[in-house]
Structure formats: structure tokens, C-alpha cells
Chain A
Amino acid sequence: MIETEIRFAVPDGMDSSVTQHYFAAIPGPGEYNRTTYFDTSDNALWNNGIEFRVRTNGMKHKQTVKTRIAGTSSFMRNEFEKEIESEQPDLTHLHSVLPPELRSAVYPAQFRPAFRTEIRRRKRIVEKDGNTIEAVHDRGWIVAGRTSTEIDEVEHELQQGGSQWLTDACLSFLDAVPCGLQTEGKAARGFRLATGANPVPAMAENVFVPSTAPLPEAIVAMMRAAYAQVLANQSALLLTGDIEAVHQMRVGLRRLRSVLSAFAPVLDLSGAPDLLSETKALFARLGDVREADVFVSETIAAIPETALDARRRQILDREVHRYRDRAYADVANYVNGPRFGRFAVRLNGWIESGNWLRNAAPVDRLLRTRPVADFAASRLSEMERKLIKRGRRALKGTIDDWHEARIAAKKVRYAGEPLAMVMSPVSAGRGKPKFTKGLARLQDELGVFNDFSNVPAFLARVRETVPKNALGGFGEAAAFCAGWSTAEVGHAVHRLEKSWKKFEDEKGVLQS
């Protein structure tokens, strides 16, 4: 059975709102249950995305095995349940539902309790127009050895009907109980508690799309993968302060926006303008943190010591660090809050709805079955042509023309990536396509050019947050940086001219 479930963390003081929304007619604190999660000593199951548990509710025992499903929504998993006689797990059942490639990896093995949860659960079935969800409020503890962590969360599990109904139910819940998305399940939190490990930033996973896949199938697979990367970085961003989590969440969003840009001619985005502007706004928020981080880790270091004295350098460093920390805290606050919860639910609903495919004219029906490769090749060459046109214009033009060329190059590089992945059966499913060295070099140079170009505007933003007593020193350092970066832009343009020629010499953007 496939389980589709969206979970929210209930903030302190919101329990009565949860009760009022779902459980007003259900008296009492709910049923008590104890769940033991099992794994091998090296957590071989969990490390392969498998959750194995036995839940005891009174005299009843139910074993559940959950596994990931590649290429589906972030909220979907396979769920295999079985009533069993005792709290001892049924290993035959586990064996029968494990993916074959894992059986030999985990058998023969000793399974031991890894941690347990102790929960009071309130449950309600919500029905509307033949659609059904199960709303569950869990309060209790995850216990691993002598450590424990609190649980207070509401789950929405789709039992019958379409994803739109789950989206609507979640949004209606969020209207009543403003709370944040809880991307980590109890198992993830339990294993972290048991091992003492922190969540780690999630890199982009390869998307496997055959070149013959119909356009909608290919597009949804790419969007789901990008969306999954955004969500997968929530915990690391919130719990570790690791800037890489910010970067990877931004990469996920950029991949999503790249898919929309790559497939723009066959998409109709008119139904989701606010969702897309929220995506853009989050991207900018994350970009602000990233930009500050690049400034403190790379830009300041690039200024010759003889050019900027130690005192001004120190002021600059301190104020930009402060700005970065504040920007990080803003992002964390957003990602932990109800606005991100709503955004994530709506975005998932929109991706799963398929309502993004152009379908106004009768010929748009052809898009539903057209192989993605038929679209990809011509689209990539169209973007390549645009880049060449912009670059040639920039060679004889101004700084603004180089910015235009930079945007065109970014499109080829990022929006071209999903297109190149499916262009031929050879590259399809084999991970990331390889762009030419010339394009990579050009893009690096354009990136440097852009970093230098942005310095004055970035420091102007930082200036707005600088305390009055530090404004004088900061202003001097910022003015110097602005002048220095302007000179560096000139050098960058000189290097760009050379990189452009090498890029054009390679004739094409993809390695053959």
C-alpha cells in the first residue's frame, strides 16, 4: 500500500486550536501506544531508507515496514503492515517486503530495538465528496537509551481521493493552526537521537528519466526531485546552522526554477503566480545568506592586505558576519514557520496536480504523449543560440550586455541541465550531463564578474543594518570596496572576452 502523509509540528500553546479544528467531538487525551523501531547494529535498514517498527496498542501488535518509492512525491512511501502476536518482530514478513537487493545486505542479521516512541494519539477520519483523510494528533516522546525528545505533531494521511483533497485539508488545518512543516518523521528523529548524529545537508539526487518518457512524466519527475531536495535540507538548516544546508536548499529551488524555465514553452504557469513569486522570494532570501557568506569567505580575502587596512577590514568582516547571521536566522525562522508550511503544501499540490501543462488549445493535447527528447533538443539549441547572440553583442557592448549574456549562460547551464539529461538514450538516466569546459569556464568568469558587480549593492544592504556607532568605519571600508570591485569588474570583463572566444571555439555546449 502507498502511504501519502503530510506532517506539521505543533508549536507550544497551539494544542487547543488543534483540538478545536479536528478533535472537538473526541474527548480525552487519546489512545496510548508504544512503538519500537528495529534495525541492525549498523542501522542497515534505515541507511537504505527503510523503517521497521512494531506498534503496541493495548493487547494488539502491528508490524509496519515503510520503504521509499523512487520518483514519487516527497510525501509518499510504501507501507507494509501486519498484525502480529507479540512485540517481537516478524522477520519473515520483513524479508518478504524488502527490496530484493537489500535482502542479502541485511540477512542474516540480528535486529535490535534502536529506539521507541511513547505516544498519546487522537485520530479522526475526515470525509468530503468521497475523499478521505485520516487526521492524527500525536503527543509524547521519542526515547533512545537515556535520551528523549518531545513529539507534538499532526499528520494528515490521504486514505482515499486525489492529492488536491490532501492539499485542501492541510491548508484548511494551517488556516486554523498556523504551524510549520515537519519534514522529519519520528523514525528520522529517533535515529538521530539514538546515534547522536546531526542532520546533514542533502545534495541533488540523480533523476532517472528515459528520453522516451512523455513530457508531463519527465517534468513531474524533475520537479519532484528538486522539491524533495528543498525539503530534505529543512532539518539541517534548522538544527545545525550549516551554511551548506542553505546552499543546498537554494540549489533545490534553483533546480525547480530551471525545470520551469527549461520547459516554459509547454507550461502554463498562469494558475500559480503567487506560488511562483513565493518560490522566487525564498530563493532570494537564501541567496542573501549565500551572498553574505561568499563575501566573508572569498571577497574580503581577495582584497590585498596593502589596500585595506586591518581596522577597516575588521569592521567590514564583523558587520558582514553579523548581517549573514541575521539573514540566516531570518531564513531559519521562515523555514520553521507556517508560511513555509503553506508554501510547501501548495507547491507539492501544484506539482502533483499536473495543472502546469499547457492545455488551452486542442494541439496542447499532443504534449501529454510527446517524448521529452523531441522537445529537449530543439529547446536547448534555442537557448544556445540566444547565448551566442547575447555574448557576441556583449563583446562589442557594455557591462549591461555582459549581464544579459550572464543570464543567457545561466539558462543554458541550469535550465539546459534537465533538457540535456533526456536528450539521448545514452545520457538519459546516467546522472548529470557534461557541459563543455568552455561553457564551465565562461560561467565561472561570469560568476566572478557578477560577484564583483554586486558588491556595492550588497554593502548598501549591509549598511542598513550597521549600528550607528560603526557606520563611519564601515562606510569608509564599503566605499573602498565599491571602488575596488568596480576596478575588478573591468578586469573580469577582460578575462570574459578571452573565455568567450574559447567557448565559441568549442562549438556547442555539451560534451560529445
Chain B
Amino acid sequence: MTLTICVINGKGGCGKSTVSTHLAAGLASSGLQTALMDRDRLRGATRWHKLRPKSAARVNLVRWKNDFEDIPVGTQRIVIDCPASLRQSRVRELVAESDILVVPILPSVFDEHATKLFLEKLSAIKKVRNGRKSILVVSNRHRARSLASQRLDEHLRSLGHEPFARISDRSVYPQLAAEGLTVFDRQTSAMRELQEEWMPLIEEIETSIRLAA
């Protein structure tokens, strides 16, 4: 059974590629046949995939054509790195066809406002409005003690979207990305602490998928 996770936010620079690549690598590390589809015109996920060493958990990059035709047989999870916009009709279709929507957000007043508008737009899509999809919000570059992060938490709570994961603001993320890696590809105690931050999101995705099946 192939299930699709769409990583999307109308605001650029909120960490969609970081979240997409980590979800793909995390799911692949757990033994699932995982594909990553790069829909962002900046092709960040594609570049990451090119750098990815063969020894790392295998993530298949799906080249975008007009349909899902390039997806390898047996793929169990597809993670889509979406563009920062819902304007294209194909992106709206992707959202409608996906099983789960993951929305990364940064702790800044600009992102809070943009995300609020974006979540409203998402809700306008029929299948989302019907409650047939889970929307999982991720607080990215989170700093537990910072006022901005605390305000973001409150803001999301007021919108009815408690974040499923709070991903720390660490310099290791860009360093790993430069090698085509993620925190799931290094098994040190420090990396495992960071992996733990992703687990509520990944566990929620897997639970939602099981319940939907």
C-alpha cells in the first residue's frame, strides 16, 4: 500500500526540504520503501538526494512528470516536497490526493501570519475541509526558551493546531544536508536525541496511516 505525505507551506524558507528529507530518511531507516518527490522549483531535495551516500538508508528520488508514473514498484511511502504556493492547480490536486499534510512553521511573526492564511486556504480544499486528511504542524528551528517559540506555540494552539514535533534549531542540520544526510543517518547519542524530536511526528504519521487503512 502506497501512502503519500505532502510537506507544504505557502511561506518559503520554513524548512520544507529539511522536513521532507528527514521524513523520507526516517521512514526509510525504519525499513519502509520510501520515495521522495521534489516539486519545489528550487530542487533542494533533488540536490540532497544527489549527495546522499549509497551506504545511507535508501530513498528513491521520484522525478516529476505529469503523474505518479515514475514511482518504483513496491514503494510504501512517498514524501512530497511541495512548492511554497497553492496557486498551481496540480499542487492543489497533490494536496487533495495526499494522505497526510505536514506543515512546517518557523517561530516568527511573519511565518505565523502566513501560516494562518495558508491553513485557511488548505481548509478550502474539499477533502481537507471534510476532515479526511490529517494536518500535522511542525515547529521548526524551535528554541524552547525563546519568546518567539513560546508565542508560536500559543498561536498554533489558538488555531487548533498543536505542533506534533518541535525541531531544535541546530547547526548540524545544514551540515548533514551538505552530505546528503539527515540526523537519522548517524547513530550517535547526540543524533539519537535529535531523532527523538522527530519521532512524535513520524509516529503520528504511521498511526494515522494505519487507522486510515
Indicate which residue in A360, A366, A377, A381 contacts B30 across the interface (CB closer than 8 Å): A366
Chain A residue, CB-CB nearest to B3: A374
> Is A371 interfacial (CB 8 A cutoff)?
yes
Chain A residue, CB-CB nearest to B187: A361
Chain A proximity of B181: nearest CB distance (Å)? 14
A361 to B26 CA separation, bound complex (whole angstroms): 10
Report which A residues bind B (CB closer than 8 A): 265-266, 360-367, 369-371, 374-375, 377-378, 381
Report which B residues bind A (CB closer than 8 A): 1, 26-27, 29-33, 73-74, 76, 184, 187, 192, 195-196, 198-199, 202-203, 206-207, 210
Would A362 and B206 count as touching, CB distance under 8 A?
Answer: no
Which residues of the other chain, B, contact A364 by a CB distance below 8 angstroms?
A: 30
Would A367 and B31 count as touching, CB distance under 8 A?
Answer: yes
A339 to B169 CA separation, bound complex (whole angstroms): 56
Which residues of the other chain, B, contact A365 by a CB distance below 8 angstroms?
A: 199, 203
Would A369 and B206 count as touching, CB distance under 8 A?
Answer: yes
A371 to B31 CA separation, bound complex (whole angstroms): 12
Which residues of the other chain, A, contact B187 by a CB distance below 8 angstroms?
A: 360-361
Would B74 and A366 count as touching, CB distance under 8 A?
Answer: no
Number of interchain pairs (Cβ within 8 Å): 48
Chain B proximity of A270: nearest CB distance (Å)? 13
Please classify the interface of chain B as helix (H, G, I), strand (E, B), loop, or mixed, using the class held by over half of its residues. helix
A361-B187, A381-B74 are contacts. A366–B206 as well, Cβ < 8 Å? yes
Could you write out 30 A-B pairs with CB less than 8 Å apart? A265-B31, A361-B184, A361-B192, A361-B195, A362-B192, A362-B195, A363-B27, A363-B29, A363-B30, A363-B184, A363-B199, A363-B202, A365-B199, A365-B203, A366-B30, A366-B203, A366-B206, A367-B30, A367-B31, A369-B206, A369-B207, A370-B31, A370-B206, A374-B1, A375-B31, A377-B74, A378-B32, A378-B33, A381-B73, A381-B74
A364 to B199 CA separation, bound complex (whole angstroms): 10
A367 to B210 CA separation, bound complex (whole angstroms): 13
A378 to B35 CA separation, bound complex (whole angstroms): 14
Chain B proximity of A260: nearest CB distance (Å)? 16
Would A362 and B199 count as touching, CB distance under 8 A?
Answer: yes
Indicate which residue in A361, A362, A369, A374 contacts B32 across the interface (CB closer than 8 Å): A374
Would A371 and B210 count as touching, CB distance under 8 A?
Answer: yes
Chain B proximity of A373: nearest CB distance (Å)? 9
Chain B proximity of A345: nearest CB distance (Å)? 31
Closest 4 pairs between A and B when the two form their complex, measured CB to CB: A363-B30, A362-B195, A366-B30, A378-B33
Would B202 and A378 count as touching, CB distance under 8 A?
Answer: no
Which residues of the other chain, B, contact A375 by a CB distance below 8 angstroms?
A: 31
